[in-house]
Structure 1
Amino acid sequence: MLSTYVDLAVGLVLAFLFLSLLVSGINEGLVRLLSIRSKFLWAFLRDTLDGPDRQGRSFLPAGMRDVFTALPFSRDARPRHNSMPSPAVLSPIPEGEAVAEGELTERLYERVREIDHPKAKRTSIATLPPERFALALMEFASAEPNGVQGLLDKLKAMRSPLHGHLQGIWESSAADVNRFRQQVEVWFDAEMRRLTLLYRRYVRWVVAVLGLVLTLVFSMDALEYGKTLLRDQAFREGVAAIAGGGDQGLTALKDRCTATGDSADPYRCVTEALSSPALVKIFDHALVGVAVPQNGDPQVKWNLGAWWERLISPGHWPGFVLTFAALLFGASFWWDILRRLTGIRSRAGR
């Protein structure tokens, strides 16, 4: 009896793991296709270095909707990709009105573009090491006649939001250049952690939406699937008992093979049942299914009518809610549960 419940737990965990991986894969595909991470980073950098655009609009998205609408399609703050090495000599920042919009962002990219790689017309840099950022700022300062103080004066004249941060760091470092560089690294690292948390908060909403969509597309009723696992395990035990010379599983075999009221070939019935494990039956009620006949090629079939009837049936809603809640835990959670149930050890633990 214990093995039956263990099989049930493993089957449910595998189902949740599969759907969670599908959710993660779709989310990662959208992020890579739309270059969300790179655009998110450079939107933050442009707001921090140059401030809002001339219309007073911020580049960093204000809500989840902007992450997948304005940010990917109409508010791309990334500099244009340049495959040339950074120039050996950096010119000073222009004075006053000569400063172009996005000047500091372009200059920052000029100093870090060696870590870029060609992907499209825009930069693909999605992470920026704090050490590289601090070194770029020190190069800005070295191009100014008055060093760090000259850079701060120009940032103040440009009304750059970066001035307030660097001014406080410069004063706390007692005008020591080495301490200033180290404190800039610490500050930028903290800002990147804050940005990562903000990004993950948006991504959690996207994962939740994808989880809901996949739950409905597969019409995955976790409660019904659990019952299917138990019936499947009981049927297999009955077949094994008959094969061993017992007759306690004969009734279950007859019920399974004559479910439609007609007689059926028991050998064919057993073969089809054992070749279709319960895990495969997740796809039986999906909007689009794949049938693999004994003879012939796999066939794609539409289950629109049956899928819709299942979807509007209140009896399945608790199972849908359970599946959706399970997907919110993520693939890593279910993989850890599966390892605990099966005794699989990770290489790091050996």
Structure 2
Amino acid sequence: MLSIYVDLALGLVVSFLLLSLLVSGLNEAFVRLLAIRSKFLWAYLRDTMDGADEKAGSWLPAGVLDVFKALPFVRDPRPRHNALPAPAQPAPVPETGAGDSMINLLYERVREIDHAKRGRTSIADIPPARFAVAVMELATARDGDVEGFLGRLHQIGSPLYGPLKGVWESAQRDLERFTKGVETWFDGEMQRLSMLYRRYVKWVVAVLAAVVTLLFSMDGLEYAKTLLRDNAFRASVTAVADAGPEAYAELRARCAGEDPMACVTETLSTPALVEMMDQALVSLSIPEQGEPSVHWNGGAWWDRVSTPSHWPGFLLTYVALLFGAPFWWDVLRRITGIRARR
């Protein structure tokens, strides 16, 4: 009896894991195609180093809808890609405001790790130590004077002045401690930015999970029932083999007058997960002979989606996908006893 529930749990976990991986794959594809991570980083850096744009406001909008509208399609905060190595002597910070001067100066110091993506930088992560070195290079570009560097930041109205001024005072005007303090500050800012990025990604995953659930019309309750029915069918087949011809009548009733051997073979070779995937908007069938074929199930799919009795199952699947692939992989490891490599 326990094996029935184990089979049921494994079937549900595997199906949720596969669909969660599909959701994660779609999300990653969109992120890479639209360079969201890189845009997110440089939007933050523009707000931090050059300040908000006078016409369009902050480069990194606060609202979820504004972020989805601006970063992927409307505004590209990334600097233009430059294949040349950084000059040995960094350019000094101008003494008057010059638009996006600070972001260009920073990119000049870190562009060795860059490669082009549609004419823009593809840098999506700047190590804190590298950022601290870049700041020190900019600070010592003119007479090696950090005080003068901070004064120029204040003069051009850069929001970077406040944090660096605090780090400089905390370091008691010691260059080594100042570099370490900048690294620590930027590391904390990147952690905060990562948390903000994950918060926005959750909305994308929620939308993709709903799309995948509806496209596959994956009714979690119906799938669980199909798993139990398959388990009972395997038990009846085993009973025929063990009990002999007297158990043949039940198997014949299940096969509805068809050839029992062909019926058993077809049923056991089509597990519950494959049956549920056949309910998708587009399904793939692989016959015993011949080429695989793709079928459009628009009518049957719409009947399932528009039937209220399936909605609780759809909701169950949708909530399960929100937990994500790592969660279901961990559950699968716990059930099967698979140990993770350390």
Following TM superposition, by how much is the alpha carbon of 1:294 offset from its aligned partner in structure 2, in angstroms?
2.8
State whether residues 49 and 162 of structure 1, in contact with CA within 8 Å, keep that contact through their aligned partners in structure 2: yes
Residues 133-176 of structure 1 show CA distances to partners (whole Å, capped at 9, x for unaligned) of: 11101001111236111111110011110011111111121111
Matched ranges for 1:17-56 at <5 A = 17-55=17-55
Alpha-carbon distance in structure 2 between the residues aligned to 1:93 and 1:160: 11
Following TM superposition, by how much is the alpha carbon of 1:193 offset from its aligned partner in structure 2, in angstroms?
0.4
Following TM superposition, by how much is the alpha carbon of 1:79 offset from its aligned partner in structure 2, in angstroms?
0.8
Following TM superposition, by how much is the alpha carbon of 1:5 offset from its aligned partner in structure 2, in angstroms?
0.8
Q: Which residue of 2 aligns with 1:91?
A: 91
Helix, strand or coil: the match of 1:347? coil
Q: Which residue of 2 aligns with 1:241?
A: 239
Following TM superposition, by how much is the alpha carbon of 1:309 offset from its aligned partner in structure 2, in angstroms?
1.3
Alpha-carbon distance in structure 2 between the residues aligned to 1:127 and 1:249: 66
Following TM superposition, by how much is the alpha carbon of 1:131 offset from its aligned partner in structure 2, in angstroms?
0.5
Alpha-carbon distance in structure 2 between the residues aligned to 1:287 and 1:13: 23
Matched ranges for 1:234-313 at <5 A = 234-246=232-244, 250-258=248-256, 263-313=257-307
Query: What TM-score do you get using the length of structure 2 for normalisation?
Result: 0.96
Alpha-carbon distance in structure 1 between the residues aligned to 2:171 and 2:242: 82
State whether residues 91 and 105 of structure 2, in contact with CA within 8 Å, keep that contact through their aligned partners in structure 1: no
Q: Which residue of 2 aligns with 1:120?
A: 118
Helix, strand or coil: the match of 2:295? strand
Residues 186-230 of structure 1 show CA distances to partners (whole Å, capped at 9, x for unaligned) of: 110110000000000000111011101111111111111000001
Alpha-carbon distance in structure 1 between the residues aligned to 2:268 and 2:62: 53
* Matched residue type, 2:338: I
Alpha-carbon distance in structure 1 between the residues aligned to 2:250 and 2:102: 75
Alpha-carbon distance in structure 1 between the residues aligned to 2:7 and 2:65: 41
Q: Which residue of 2 aligns with 1:176?
A: 174
Q: Which residue of 2 aligns with 1:197?
A: 195
Question: Structure 1 180/235 Cα, relative in aligned 2: closer, same or farther at 3 Å?
Answer: same
* Matched residue type, 2:57: R
State whether residues 238 and 248 of structure 1, in contact with CA within 8 Å, keep that contact through their aligned partners in structure 2: no
- 1:344 matched to 2:324: no
Helix, strand or coil: the match of 1:290? strand
Q: Which residue of 2 aligns with 1:3?
A: 3
State whether residues 257 and 264 of structure 1, in contact with CA within 8 Å, keep that contact through their aligned partners in structure 2: yes
- 1:316 matched to 2:310: yes
* Matched residue type, 2:279: H
Between stretches 125-134 and 295-304, larger displacement belongs to: 295-304
Give the unaligned 5+ runs of structure 1. none
Between stretches 248-257 and 167-176, larger displacement belongs to: 248-257
* Matched residue type, 1:330: G
Between stretches 154-163 and 236-245, larger displacement belongs to: 236-245
Alignment equivalent of 1:167, drawn from 159, 165, 168? 165
State whether residues 154 and 161 of structure 2, in contact with CA within 8 Å, keep that contact through their aligned partners in structure 1: yes
Helix, strand or coil: the match of 2:124? coil
Helix, strand or coil: the match of 1:110? helix
Residues 215-269 of structure 1 show CA distances to partners (whole Å, capped at 9, x for unaligned) of: 11111111110000011111112212323444575344223211xxxx2111111
TM-align CA RMSD: 1.5
Alpha-carbon distance in structure 2 between the residues aligned to 1:176 and 1:251: 90
Alpha-carbon distance in structure 2 between the residues aligned to 1:254 and 1:152: 87
Alpha-carbon distance in structure 1 between the residues aligned to 2:278 and 2:83: 51
Following TM superposition, by how much is the alpha carbon of 1:298 offset from its aligned partner in structure 2, in angstroms?
1.5
Give the unaligned 5+ runs of structure 2. none
